[in-house]
Amino acid sequence: MVYTVGEMAKVLDVNTSTLRYYDSEGLLPYVERSSGGMRMFSEKDYEALMVINCLKKSGLTIKEIKQFIEMTEKGDETIEERLKLFENRRKAVQKQIDELQKTKKLLDYKCWYYQTANKAGSEQYVKNISPEKIPEEIREAKNTLKLKSV
């Protein structure tokens, strides 16, 4: 099946201008065009766009993604390079996830803190609460708010 820019953009939940930009930057070297010059996207193009989207979301620049596309065009001689690229992106994304989990834990604690203060009618109540009355799953986050000696 063949998709227009608009149809593919809708499937990917991106703007049509994004797909046109990717094409103009050389990220879509295999996209065919109709006799009238319209881009015609295939299932294979969809797969490539999903990978491009993944790499973009993982923090690569368009220039770096283009380098990846160029590696794929060289074939098997770049398999090891591409593997390293994806391993590095996976590590970077895992680091981001770990940081976001820490952030979420602190947000969970502060939500509990203000919910408890709101219910008690005073922030002082929460400040004086004993550590064992703080839900176990958010105690660690509270402890991150204490300055550690250097």
Per-residue pLDDT of the chain (150 residues; tens, 9 = 90+): 899 999 999 999 999 999 999 999 999 988 999 888 889 999 999 999 999 999 999 999 999 999 999 999 999 999 999 999 999 999 999 999 999 999 999 999 999 999 999 999 999 999 999 988 999 888 889 888 887 766
The burial of 14, by beta-carbon neighbours within 10 Å (0-12 exposed, 13-18 middle, 19 or more buried), is given as: middle
Domain locations in the chain as residue ranges: 1-57, 77-150
Dist CA 5 CA 14 (whole Å): 10
Residues ≥6 apart with Cβ < 8 Å to 52: 22, 27, 65, 69
Per-residue pLDDT at 93: 97
User: Does the domain at residues 1-57 carry the CATH identifier 1.10.1660.10?
Assistant: yes
